[in-house]
Amino acid sequence: MGILNITPDSFSGDGLVVGGDATRRALEKALQFIEDGADILDIGGESTRPGSQVVSAQEEIERVVPVIHAIRQQTDITISVDTYKADVAAAALGAGADWINDVWALRADPQMAPLAARTGAPLVLMHNRSKPGEVILQQRLGGMYQGAEYHDLMGEVCEELLDSVCIAENAGVARHSIIMDPGIGFGKTVTQNLELIARLNEVKGLGFPVLLGPSRKSFIGYTLDLPPEERLEGTLAALAVGITRGANIVRVHDVRQTFRLTKMVDAILGSV
In three-state secondary structure terms, 148 is coil
pLDDT at residue 144 in the model: 63
Higher pLDDT, 167 or 49: 167
The CA distance from 237 to 214, in Å, is: 10
Helix residue ranges, H only, the chain: 22-36, 57-74, 86-95, 112-119, 153-171, 190-198, 200-204, 218-224, 232-244, 255-269
pLDDT-above-90 percentage for the chain: 82
pLDDT at residue 148 in the model: 72
* Pick from 47-51, 61-65, 155-159, 266-270: least confident: 47-51
Higher pLDDT, 144 or 155: 155
At residue 12, does pLDDT exceed 50? no
Q: What is the pLDDT of residues 168-193, one digit of tens each?
A: 999 999 999 999 999 999 989 999 99
pLDDT-above-70 percentage for the chain: 88
Domains contained in the chain, number: 1
Handedness of CA 241, 218, 102, 21 (dihedral sign): negative
- Three-state SS letters, 67-88: HHHHHHHHCCCEEEEECCCHHH
Query: What distances in angstroms separate CA 132 from CA 65, 146, 148, one per listed residue?
Result: 28, 11, 11
Concatenated DSSP letters of 182-206:
--TTSS--HHHHHHHHHTHHHHHTT
Residue type, position 115, single letter: L
Query: What distances in angstroms separate CA 26 from CA 12, 107, 145, 250, one per listed residue?
Result: 16, 29, 31, 20
The CA distance from 182 to 204, in Å, is: 10
State the residue range of the domain holding 258: 2-269
Confidence class for position 13, pLDDT limits 50, 70, 90: very low
At residue 10, does pLDDT exceed 60? no
Q: What are phi and psi of 248, to 5 degrees?
A: -100, -30
At residue 14, does pLDDT exceed 70? no
Q: Active-site positions? A: 217, 251
Question: Stretch 237-241: mean pLDDT, rounded?
Answer: 98
At residue 80, does pLDDT exceed 50? yes
Question: Stretch 219-239: mean pLDDT, rounded?
Answer: 96
The CA distance from 29 to 249, in Å, is: 20
The CA distance from 16 to 151, in Å, is: 39
Q: What is the pLDDT of residues 93-152, one digit of tens each?
A: 999 999 999 999 999 999 999 999 999 999 999 999 987 555 666 666 766 666 578 999
Handedness of CA 250, 159, 128, 190 (dihedral sign): negative
Confidence class for position 154, pLDDT limits 50, 70, 90: very high
Other Cβ atoms closer than 10 A to 138: 12
Query: What distances in angstroms separate CA 119 from CA 56, 111, 169, 180, 268, one per listed residue?
Result: 23, 12, 14, 19, 38
Confidence class for position 225, pLDDT limits 50, 70, 90: very high
Other Cβ atoms closer than 10 A to 88: 29
Question: Stretch 68-83: mean pLDDT, rounded?
Answer: 97
CATH code, domain with 19: 3.20.20.20
Higher pLDDT, 17 or 161: 161
* Pick from 136-140, 163-167, 217-221, 257-261: least confident: 136-140
